[in-house]
Amino acid sequence: MVFVSLKTQPCLVDSIYRLLENAGKPLKLEDIYAAFPGHSRPSIRGTIYKNNGKRFVRVCKGAHAVNTKATKPTKATKFRKD
């Protein structure tokens, strides 16, 4: 088992957010899984469901998009420097 430091591992939620934002349309879970082969399906699905309503919104069964009506930044984006 390989352990990766959290400081060097890119944040999965930010990566999924950028993927959905760049797509400009809702993506199905299968497309999101294919974009991140290094992560397991349960970790990707859990990340999306955990941030559902904050950063992501469920459009229909199995399809998610960026939440454009989010008012509060999450902890991950509040302190990020772009």
Domains of the chain, by residue range, sit at: 12-69
Question: Tell me, what's the pLDDT at 80?
Answer: 54
Question: Tell me, what's the pLDDT at 5?
Answer: 46
Please report which confidence band the pLDDT of residue 71 belongs to, taking 50, 70 and 90 as the band edges.
Answer: low
What pTM value is reported for the model? 0.67
As its CATH architecture, domain 12-69 has Orthogonal Bundle (1.10)
Question: Tell me, what's the pLDDT at 58?
Answer: 84
Is-contact 58 52, C-beta < 8 A?
yes
Cα angle value 77/78/81 (rounded, 5°): 75
Q: pLDDT of 27-58, one tens digit each?
A: 888 998 999 888 899 998 888 888 887 888 88
